[in-house]
Amino acid sequence: MNRDRIIVTIGAALIGILLFIIWLLASNSFVVATPMASVRALYSGFTEGWIYPHLKSTLTVILMTYIISLIIGIGCGVILGISPFLRDVFEGMILAVYAVPKIVLYPIFLTLFGIGWTTLIVMGTIHAVFPLLINTMTGIKNMSKTYIKVGKSYNANSFQMLKKIYIPAISLPLVTGLKMACSLGIIGVILGEIFASKEGIGQIIMRSYALMELDRMYGLILLLFLFAFVINVSFSRLERRLKKVF
Amino acid sequence: MKRATKVKIVRIMVISGFLLFLELITRAGYVRPTVLVPPSIMFLTLFRSIISGNLTPHFVRTLSEILFSFSMAAMIGMPMGIFFWKFPKIWKMCAVYFVAGYAMPTIFFYPILLVIFGLGTMPILVIAIGTSILPIIMNTAAGLREVREVYPKVGQTFECTPLQMFFKVRFPAAAPLIFAGLKMGFTYAVTLCIAMEFLNAEKGLGFLVSYHYFTFDTDILYAYILLIIIIAVTINRILLGIEKRVRMEL
């Protein structure tokens, strides 16, 4: 068992090294910056400080997007989960809207809200809210009716029902929803920054592409991937732990 | 009244109420026509541009991109899923990268691909295939892994050959999960093709939306957004219908 784990870890590390070597070989051509130059360009962002205002803007918008999506997504999800009638009415519509490529809606938000944080938050939220809503809704739909009966027999009020019965019962689909909302929210915000912002990581990626500062562009994309990687892996850990509990 | 009809009536009321609300606020002048177009005009403009045939080449282009990238993803992804199921150790080694790549913003590879391939279909196809292949691989491997022990045992008592075992027993048993992966892959292909066209292309439905946004043709812009929504919803409906049938047959 332990030996298998060591083999797997070594294998995973080797694949990582292989990917790095592929990048290194690809950077012989002039369209790909070397890994070292990319990291150096990214590092200069922190030492010279040009990255901080953009990082601050992007992180603030992502955080606000996430909070708003949480409130709307879980709120609507709980309502639709509890009421079978409303769910029957809206479920099909929600699944359909979820499948629409949200980027084509960006012009609408741009004309409605102009350039700025509001637009970015709306763009991020429309990406992030659906997985949360759908997972909360189906989680409550599929949960065992016994839990609800137990809560009712203890005379729990609706807030207690939510806190003590519904949320713990659906914690597994909820964490999956939170994970998806986070990665989709990041995509939504960064894509939005390309069109609807004067600052932010997405904006400087496009700017360095336009100026052909490739090392900076690759460095920033690397930063973005590391950010998504860390968040995704920690959510997956949480998911796995919850799976063991249930 | 039966509950199903009640649901249908309320659903129609919600949708038509929403459209009516948009129609009213735009007609009454609460919202400028440069910002929002009345839905009736959206439908009319869309109808007109379909009839005039201006839309056809873009529609064909987008559709062929979607179908090509999905079929490539399915043809490469399913064998890869089978491979990873056969060799669980290799799967475990790669798992970190797949799980990480799964929810990662693959669309941000697009400036890189733009630098490598230049404008055109190549970056679109690479991103669409690369993203839609992930759920297909993961669900194929997971579906085959989670086949209940009883089924292969039944196959053994009938002395199935390895090929029969795979095609008659394991694969059908894993079909629902595999199909869920294919469905997700198709949705990803649709979304990413249109999104990538929006970002950088010279043809296609996504391109039309971004083009008319930058030329401020609000009427046509909304008509095309509406068209994309209709297409996405229709595809979603069809896939859900097929999925229901796959589930029923098992």
Spans of all domains in chain A = 1-32, 33-245
B181 and B139 share one domain:
yes
A153 against B99, higher pLDDT: A153
pLDDT at position B102, please? 67
The answer on pLDDT for A236 being more than 90 is: no
- Is residue A183 within 8 Å of B106, Cβ to Cβ? no
The answer on pLDDT for B118 being more than 60 is: yes
B1 and B64 share one domain:
no
Q: How many CB pairs under 8 A join A and B?
A: 148
Instruction: Indicate which CATH number applies to the domain containing B109.
Output: 1.10.3720.10
Nearest-CB residue to B225 (from A12, A14, A108) = A108
pLDDT digits (tens, 9 = 90+) for A182-209: 888 988 898 888 878 888 888 888 888 8
Provide mean pLDDT across the span A95-122: 86
Min Cα distance A161 → chain B (Å) is: 27
Count of structural domains within chain B: 2
B123 within a domain of the structure (yes/no): yes
B31 and B123 share one domain:
no
pLDDT digits (tens, 9 = 90+) for A17-28: 888 888 888 776
pTM, entire model: 0.83
User: What tokens were used for B2?
Assistant: 């039966």
B32 and B134 share one domain:
no
> B-chain residues within 8 Å CB-CB of A224?
105, 108
* Whether B89 and A7 lie within 8 Å, measured CB to CB: yes
B103 and B134 share one domain:
yes
Provide mean pLDDT across the span B178-191: 88
> Helices (DSSP H) in chain A: which residue ranges?
2-26, 35-48, 52-82, 84-98, 106-113, 117-142, 145-153, 158-160, 167-169, 171-196, 201-210, 214-245
* Whether A96 and B3 lie within 8 Å, measured CB to CB: no
pLDDT at position B250, please? 63
* Whether B14 and A214 lie within 8 Å, measured CB to CB: no
> B-chain residues within 8 Å CB-CB of A90?
11, 14
B123 and B193 share one domain:
yes
B5 and B77 share one domain:
no
pLDDT at position A238, please? 86
Average pLDDT along chain B = 85
Residue of A nearest to B102 (CA): A232
Nearest-CB residue to A101 (from B11, B96, B190) = B190
CATH placement of domain A33-245: 1.10.3720.10
* Whether A104 and B228 lie within 8 Å, measured CB to CB: yes
pLDDT at position B103, please? 60
Min Cα distance A156 → chain B (Å) is: 30
B46 within a domain of the structure (yes/no): no
* Whether B195 and A101 lie within 8 Å, measured CB to CB: yes
Min Cα distance A159 → chain B (Å) is: 28
* Whether A12 and B199 lie within 8 Å, measured CB to CB: no
pLDDT digits (tens, 9 = 90+) for B218-242: 888 888 888 888 888 888 888 888 8
Q: A126 pLDDT band (50/70/90 cuts)?
A: very high
> A-chain residues within 8 Å CB-CB of B12?
none
* Whether B7 and A88 lie within 8 Å, measured CB to CB: yes
B45 within a domain of the structure (yes/no): no
B245 within a domain of the structure (yes/no): yes
* Alpha-carbon separation of residue B44 from A105, A115, A214, B226 (angstroms): 19, 30, 45, 11
ipTM (interface pTM):
0.78
> Helices (DSSP H) in chain B: which residue ranges?
3-27, 39-52, 56-86, 88-102, 110-117, 121-145, 150-157, 162-164, 171-199, 205-214, 218-249
B134 within a domain of the structure (yes/no): yes
B8 and B100 share one domain:
no
Per the structure, the complete domain to which residue B15 belongs is given by 1-36
Min Cα distance B100 → chain A (Å) is: 5
B31 and B119 share one domain:
no
Min Cα distance A15 → chain B (Å) is: 7
